[in-house]
Structure formats: structure tokens, C-alpha cells
Amino acid sequence: MELSARPNRWLARYAAFVAFATFLLIVAGALVTSNDAGLSVPDWPTSFGSFRMPRMVGGVKYEHGHRMIAGTVGLLTLFLAVWLWKTDERKWVRRLGGIAVLTVVAQAALGGITVLFYLPAPVSVGHACLAQLFFSITVSLALFTRYDWRWDQPRIEDARALSLRRLTAGATAAIFLQLMLGAAFRHNGFGIIPHVIGAAVVTAGVFWILVRVLTRYPREPRLVRPALWLAALLAVQLLLGIGSYVMKLAARDAPQPLPPVVAVTTTHVAVGALVLAASLVLTLQAFRKSGVRSQKPEVRMEDREQESGVSPILTADS
């Protein structure tokens, strides 16, 4: 049995708080880009040549505010990693905490490079994508530190060639790629067409997964809930994407970003992060709850299902 050896609800709550703080950091970063405030503070790591608080006016409040939130999240992540290292007996969880610290440090360095080199598109896109990766790590840690998280439990048989595990993992990868394309469009690296094609692919994949979960696993709330959240968030995201593009076209001659455009584009980035998080949670739950067909000839899962009237269950093998 691989429960966290000594379940610590406070650790799980703190990990969830770090994930939430990371989400706020993504929103703060989106506000910087939406307000064209990336160079409002032209140096790094100082602000106007000093480590003192600058006047929080104009774009400075977005850029310097983003830096302050980033510093706070970095400290929170470091504390989480230390807490995991001291209390969690699972080596892979402790290592993931260490990876989270390295990721947030790399993210800070990329943020500084974007300023020092005047917002080059490749670096800006990398900065945005690494933020989503870091958010995914914190969401995973929040899930893994739950008192009831375990891998070695009975799994529902999934004998299809394209299993739920593969479907959800592929969808999560596609969503991350879609966020990359969106970041490239936002930072003037790509046009809109790749992002539109990516949206169509992601929508088809999520619909496929939703149908699979609702028809194959209707009594598994750990799968049904994230699948429904994923579909709902994606629907909102599609509407926000259309709205933000139309509004940006309408306001393309405006001398500065208009508040409605800022609100919609920032929300589009934020919901995109939530879509990725929902897909990641569903993927992890799929690997936890579903399994492959048993290779033992004496095990007849179909016969068991017919006799008992319940879904076939596999003994966990990992």
C-alpha cells in the first residue's frame, strides 16, 4: 500500500495553497502582457536601479507587482519542498518538490532575460510556457499530498487499444501545445491560424474523453468530476478566445490597451491554465483508477462482470 506514510492534511492544504498562488502569478503575468507593461520597469533584478519599492503607477504596478508575487511564490515553493523533504517518505514526491524549486528559479531567470533583452518573442513564449509547466507541477503536488492519494489500488479494466490513460495523456499534451501556440500568438511569434487549428484538435479530444468517461466510468466520481470540469472550462475558453480576438481586432488602433480587452484576454490566459490543470488531474486519476487488460488466462473479468453486475476490477500492479 502506497499511502503517504503519515498523512498530513496541513501539508496537503499548503500544497493546494501554493498551486493557487501559482495560478494568481499566471494571472499577474497575463496582466503585464495584456497591458503592454513588460518594459515598464526597464531593468532586472533591480527596479530603476534600486531594490526599493518604486512608485506603483501606470504599467509599473503590473510589472513590479508581478515580480513581487513571483518572489512570494518562489519562497512558498521553497518552503513546500523543505516540508516535503522532512515529512513525506515517498522519494519521488520529494524529488518533484525539488524540481518545483528549480523550475521557479528558471522561471525567474527567464523573466529577467525577457526584460534585459527587450521582450524577444522566443524567450517571452518560453517564459509563458514554463509558467504553465510550473503550475502543472504544483497542481500535481497538491494532488499527491492528499491523504487518500495512492497508486496501488484496484483498477477498472480498460481493454481498448486507445485506453483512457493514453487519451487523457494525449489531451494534456495537446492542451499544453495549444497554450504554447496561444503564447506565441500573444507575443507576436505566430499568427492565429495554428492556434485555431489547435483549438479544434483539443476540442475534439476533450469531447472524445468526456464521452468515454461518461459511458465507461459513470460511477467513478474521481474521473467524472474532472472530465465535466474540463469540458465546461474548455467551452468557456473557446468563447473567451473568440471574444478576445474580435475585441483585439476592433481595438487595434487604440493608443493603449482598453480595459475590456485587457479583462477578456487576461481571463482567456487564466482559464487556459485551468483547462490544463483539469486535464492533468483527469490524466493522473485515469492512471490511478484505470488499468490494462489482465494477461493471466485464468482471470475472466468479463465473466465476473456478468455474474456480479459491477465493472471489472484489476488488482493494481504498480
Alpha carbon distance 51, 13 (integer Å): 32
Residue pair 240/271 in contact by the 8 Å Cβ criterion: yes
Alpha carbon distance 120, 252 (integer Å): 21
Residue with the three cell numbers 494525449: 170
User: What mean pLDDT is predicted for residues 153-165?
Assistant: 77
pLDDT at 290 over 90: no
Which residues, 6+ apart, have CB-to-CB distance to 27 below 8 Å?
A: 266, 269, 270
Residue pair 269/26 in contact by the 8 Å Cβ criterion: yes
- Residue 295: pLDDT band (50, 70, 90) is very low
pLDDT of 57-88, one tens digit each? 999 999 999 999 999 999 999 999 999 999 99
pLDDT at 247 over 50: yes
Alpha carbon distance 240, 266 (integer Å): 10
- Residue 255: pLDDT band (50, 70, 90) is confident
- Per-residue confidence (pLDDT) for residue 317, from 0 to 100: 39
- Write down the domain spans for the chain: 1-150, 153-318
Q: Which residue has the higher pLDDT, 300 or 58?
A: 58
Largest CA distance in the chain: 75
Alpha carbon distance 173, 133 (integer Å): 11
pLDDT at 3 over 90: no
- Per-residue confidence (pLDDT) for residue 189, from 0 to 100: 85
Residue 259: what residue type? P
pLDDT at 150 over 60: yes
Alpha carbon distance 258, 36 (integer Å): 11
